[in-house]
Amino acid sequence: MRRIYHRFPQQIDLDFELARPFQEILSCLARLHDTHVTSRGGEGLIKERVLVQVADRRTQFLDIDDLMPLSEHISEAADFRLAFQRTLLTPEKRLPVAENIFYLRMIDKGSTTECYAAKESPHGDMDAMDLRRFLKGVCE
């Protein structure tokens, strides 16, 4: 089943391919959902979290966990919304530092997966090339 979002941006920031089959990339995205890494920054501890959502009924996004197993619910093409959240952890509170949100369309091309990426907002410190680099690192 194709899961396409009807308001996917018409202006694409980057078009690239991942050298893995579509189903392997889906599994990779499922493993990435709601993961985080904590590192020490200049101001203290920084928590970096990844949230992955998939298009549902062409009008909204669902957490990818709601469609497990993915192979039964997604085939051919799918639109995703990836949020990269960065939070400063202090003893008193948690302060949001940055959030980068990307739309990602993936299309099954046999042994490769074609991807189209668009950033939701110009704010934040990541761009589509950073998303590509990130996905190639964790999924290939």
Dihedral sign of CA atoms 25, 30, 31, 37 in order: positive
In the prediction, which pLDDT does 140 show?
A: 76
Residue 7 resides in a domain: no
Tokens of 21: 């089959």
The range of the structural domain enclosing residue 129 comes to 14-139
- Tell me the backbone φ, ψ of residue 59, rounded to 5 degrees: -125, -10
Question: Which of 66, 125, 128, 85 has the alpha carbon at shortest distance from 103?
Answer: 128
Identify whether 61 is part of a domain.
yes
Considering the domain boundaries, does residue 108 fall inside one? Answer: yes
Q: What is the pLDDT of residues 61-80, one digit of tens each?
A: 988 877 677 667 687 899 99
Q: Could you tell me where the DSSP H helices lie in the chain? A: 22-32, 70-73, 128-139
**Torsion-angle region of 110 (φ positive above 0: left; ψ -120 to 50: alpha; else: beta):** left
The count of structural domains within the chain is 1
**pLDDT mean across residues, the chain:** 89
